[in-house]
């Protein structure tokens, strides 16, 4: 379900997109930058915010840490906002550069206005990012959003390798951004996607599309005993994550199984709306919004099931993390990711997208059957091993080496 565009987007969207396209065209016409002194190529990963909480940030930092074992790696973050301490620790050997930590607000013209990362950008970050990209001769640039992939393809020198990394899925992008992706992604050297379905979607747009899933993050906490009456969920409190649907699904279970609670780990803009929904349903103390935690693994190990209620995903890395703690999973089979991670009836249960009664029934099937929870949990641990960070990192190394040799 797509959000209804705001009045501001409806009124200003088309002119902003036109200005953006002209601005990128001018960047493409800039004279080639001077060759820089020789030296080993670096890997530069472009993020919205390296200090915040989020699956994309976590995955990008994990990748940076692995690649830093053999390469010079810099994470280029557009903004820091208010946080001074990063939510996820920065990996050893990784340089993190913040382009704007003062919140300059002149609007961006080089970040696509229809990209969800647009709010992180400004005219200042445009200028700083173009300067850094034009100085990336011989380097590998990994852009974690389509807007910055389009900008990197326009601004980076011809001898740079530009790779887009898709953290959502093609159908999750707004229409004008999707149109520019179709028009310009052929300029990329490669696109890395998280699922086979995405690889098929992009195959006609980019000459090299590679599926490399996100790696399992380090997640202390041990294996769940699966005996606590707790269902866990985790993610940013946004409409995408569907926690409003989850609360509706859990409400009948709260009445039928009064010993069970639902704990939702994460922070975000929908917190007040979700608190109001919990209060209106009389679920205070039964559905708990715990806030963000740096110890998610420990929280998962104290639960007996994990639930993902997203309306759409890019992958669903938190599913893999929950599986690594031996949790059976219940998930909407939303586009994209859960259906390629969870094997229905083996390590979890898949429910049709946004099917609230179906979610209730699936959760109840695990709540009432400890033996089933244990069987699924055992299979979940085996499935999580397929996302070993060393194996995922080796796939990235092979791709980077192949692109640099072309």
pLDDT tens per residue across span 151-191: 999 999 999 999 999 998 888 899 999 999 999 999 999 99
How confident is the model at residue 7, as a pLDDT? 45
Contact 175, 114 (CB under 8 A): yes
The pTM score is 0.87
Q: How far apart are CA 358 and CA 112, in angstroms?
A: 38
Residue 6 has pLDDT above 90, yes or no: no
Nearest Cα to 126, choosing from 144, 140, 147, 97? 147
Q: Mean of the pLDDT values across residues 112-138?
A: 94
Nearest Cα to 320, choosing from 335, 303, 337? 337
- Helix, strand or coil, per DSSP, at residue 365: helix
**Which residues neighbour 255 within 8 Å (Cβ) at sequence distance 6 or greater?**
none
Q: Mean of the pLDDT values across residues 1-17?
A: 62
Residue 1 has pLDDT above 50, yes or no: no
| Structural domains in the chain, sorted by start | 40-215+389-405 (3.40.50.11010), 230-387 (3.40.50.2000)
**H/E element holding 371?**
helix 370-384
How confident is the model at residue 48, as a pLDDT? 94
pLDDT tens per residue across span 61-76: 999 999 999 999 999 9
Query: Could you tell me the pLDDT band of residue 217, with boundaries at 50, 70 and 90?
Result: confident
What is the average pLDDT score of the chain? 93
């Amino acid at each position: 379900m797509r959000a209804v565009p705001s009045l501001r987007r409806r009124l200003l969207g088309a002119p902003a997109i036109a200005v953006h396209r002209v601005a990128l065209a001018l960047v493409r016409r800039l004279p080639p930058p001077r060759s820089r002194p020789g030296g080993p190529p670096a890997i530069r990963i472009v993020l919205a915010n390296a200090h915040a909480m989020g699956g994309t940030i976590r995955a990008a930092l994990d990748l940076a840490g692995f690649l830093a074992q053999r390469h010079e790696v810099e994470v280029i973050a557009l903004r820091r906002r208010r946080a001074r301490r990063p939510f996820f620790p920065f990996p050893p050997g990784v340089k993190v550069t913040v382009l704007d930590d003062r919140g300059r607000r002149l609007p961006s013209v080089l970040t696509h206005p229809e990209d969800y990362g647009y709010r992180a950008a400004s005219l200042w970050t445009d200028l700083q990012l173009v300067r850094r990209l034009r100085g990336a001769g011989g380097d590998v640039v990994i852009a974690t959003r389509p807007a910055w992939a389009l900008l990197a393809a326009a601004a980076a020198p011809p001898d740079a390798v530009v790779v887009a990394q898709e953290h959502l899925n093609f159908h999750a992008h707004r229409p004008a951004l999707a149109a520019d992706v179709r028009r310009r992604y052929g300029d990329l050297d490669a696109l890395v996607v998280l699922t086979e379905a995405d690889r098929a979607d992009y195959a006609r747009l980019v000459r090299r599309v590679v599926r490399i899933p996100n790696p399992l993050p380090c997640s202390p906490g041990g294996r769940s005993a699966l005996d606590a009456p707790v269902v866990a969920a985790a993610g940013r409190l946004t409409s995408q994550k569907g926690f409003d649907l989850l609360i509706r699904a859990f409400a009948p279970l709260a009445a039928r199984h009064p010993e069970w609670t639902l704990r939702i780990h994460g922070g975000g803009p929908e917190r007040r709306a979700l608190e109001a929904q919990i209060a209106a349903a009389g679920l205070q103390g039964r559905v708990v919004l715990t806030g963000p935690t740096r110890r998610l693994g420990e929280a998962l190990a104290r639960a007996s099931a994990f639930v993902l209620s997203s309306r759409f995903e890019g992958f669903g890395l938190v599913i893999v993390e929950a599986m690594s703690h031996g949790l059976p999973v219940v998930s909407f089979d939303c586009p994209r990711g859960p259906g390629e991670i969870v094997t229905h009836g083996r390590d979890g249960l898949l429910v049709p997208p946004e099917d609230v009664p179906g979610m209730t029934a699936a959760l109840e099937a695990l709540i009432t059957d400890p033996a089933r929870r244990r069987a699924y949990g055992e299979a979940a641990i085996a499935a999580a091993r397929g996302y070993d960070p060393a194996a995922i990192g080796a796939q990235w190394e092979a791709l980077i080496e192949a692109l640099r040799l072309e």
